Amino acid sequence: MRKGFKIAYSVLFFAACALPAAMMPFVQPNAEIEKKSLTEMPAFIDENGVNTDFSTQFESWFNDRIPMRPELLSAANLIKGEVLSTASSNVISNGGWLFYDSEKFDYMDTNAMSGSQLNATAVTLSLLEEKVTADGGRFTFVPMPNKASVYGEYMPACYKKADENNLTRLSAKLTEYGINYTDMLKVMTENKDKGIYHARDSHWNNLGAIIGYNEIMNSLGRPHNTYENATYKYEQIWRADLDKLLYPAGGYMDWQYEFDITYSLFRFTNPAGVRDTAAQLAIFMSDKEENDMNITTQNLNKAPNKSLYMVRDSFGRALLPFMIDNYASANFVRTNRPDVSGSFADKDFVYEIVERNLKNVIATAPYMFAPERTDSDPAAIPADSEAKAVFSDEGYAFRLYGSLPEDAETGSGRIYVIFGTSTGKRVFEAFPIYETELLGGTGTKGFSMFIDKKAGLSGSCSITVVTGGKAYNAGSVSV
């Protein structure tokens, strides 16, 4: 009897394991749920011979196509998340509140930026603001706090909140460097009792967005519609992003504020040819993230302000209708490289980024011509080591980037590059950014700049990089 039971149990066990594979020819993979391009079937032999990564690639292909994968993931995560309160599918679950697992690093301050990185971020933002305001525009930086930074009381007790982190330290630097910014941590914390973040999503809800929008416009000092008397419905209609990670086959709907606001008529100039603007806007405001890297709009009524350039991430989705309604033209881009190479006369620049991605501000240099300075540090002494520099002609501009020794003292973060020419020297200020993708390695001390061809540099030029009271020889280039 016992032997028969063991045999039956073994047969059922292996049958259950084999069932998904047996169903594969009859079930279509759900690419929409995966939210990525499915892995192609790898070749065992390719143009280079035997594919040594075949097993890894095949596993990825197989995992993308396992039948009932969403259902199996949902069942497993239900047990781990709602019953055991353990992180699963990159989600922390606690009593109905969900957080990105990566938020724990900011929450506990285990990913602290160095002092030189904080200075580099502040200097980068100050150079952007300098350019925008010199043109006659206005600038505000909008660091959005992670949900855990606002609603930390719902994080599991095993995570201990630090007294400070990258966001609080950078906020102090922004004040020190005189950079105009919207203190969203303060605003969101002061309004948290109103319920301004979703419980099962990583973002604010529409109420949080309308509060944030008003603070952004106040920071810019621009006239704007406040929508303070708008009526709303509070309904359980939101399919939250974190919930979908946990339960791709279908989970719990979150609550959302639906405001009854009549906005000005507008049209999309990018994407072009949109006939149903309301439907297209709804797609951009959802988590589908389809073709939303560069959105431009034109208000068809009289708007309070002329022009907007907004660098944003997924938090900026909920801001779209308010911003579109208050600018004659608006451009919303999702990028790590802002473009301020053109004129910003009568144009506002809003730079929004979530706390967990603050390091991306110094991931690569913005498109901006380096400002020319009258001098660098005249008291700088020759350094014991040299800087590495790479020079190229990009057609629209000259580009110079490079690295400094990792033990280099960068002081306040300002970096000046001196071009020694046959007729004298020219000084430009560079972004204090290490171009990781171009230089490789794990360096953090670097410089990067674009030089306007109209600046008049030509011929053979020696390159000297000055920072922290020292001058580093970086060789010479031919312009």
* Same domain? 276 vs 406: no
Among 362, 385, 417, where does a domain finish?
362
Residue 209 lies in a domain: yes
Residue 86 lies in a domain: no
Quick count: other Cβ atoms within 10 Å of Cβ 389? 20
Mean pLDDT of 441-456: 95
* Same domain? 275 vs 389: no
Residue 84 lies in a domain: no
Cβ atoms of residues 124 and 433 within 8 Å: yes
* Same domain? 206 vs 284: yes
Residue 31 lies in a domain: yes
* Same domain? 140 vs 109: yes
Among 362, 385, 402, where does a domain finish?
362
Residue 87 lies in a domain: no
* Same domain? 376 vs 358: no
pLDDT value of position 207? 98
Residue 252 lies in a domain: yes
Tens digits of residue pLDDT in 252-301 = 999 999 999 999 999 999 999 999 999 999 999 998 888 999 999 999 99
Distance between CA atoms of residues 13 and 6, nearest Å:
10
Give the structural domain span for 159.
Answer: 97-362
* Same domain? 292 vs 231: yes
* Same domain? 268 vs 156: yes
* Same domain? 137 vs 164: yes
* Same domain? 217 vs 135: yes
Mean pLDDT of 213-242: 97
pLDDT value of position 14? 64
Which residues touch 219 (CB under 8 Å, ≥6 apart)? 140, 142, 180, 181, 182
Whether the predicted pLDDT of 347 surpasses 70: yes
Q: Give the range among 104-113, 285-294, 458-467 with minimum mean pLDDT.
A: 285-294
Q: Give the range among 133-147, 240-254, 307-321 with minimum mean pLDDT.
A: 240-254
Which residue has 């473009």 as its token pair? Answer: 339
* Same domain? 120 vs 261: yes
Residue 452 lies in a domain: yes
* Same domain? 11 vs 127: no
Q: Give the total number of structural domains in the chain.
A: 3
Residue 322 lies in a domain: yes
Hey, CA dihedral for 346, 347, 350, 351, is it positive or negative? negative
pLDDT value of position 42? 76
Strand pairing class (424-430; 415-421): antiparallel
Tens digits of residue pLDDT in 6-61 = 676 566 666 656 655 555 555 555 554 545 566 777 776 776 677 777 777 676 66
* Same domain? 104 vs 204: yes
Q: What is the CATH number of the domain that holds 438?
A: 2.60.40
Tens digits of residue pLDDT in 149-207 = 999 999 999 999 999 999 999 999 999 999 999 999 999 999 999 999 999 999 999 99
Among 362, 389, 405, where does a domain finish?
362
Whether the predicted pLDDT of 376 surpasses 70: yes
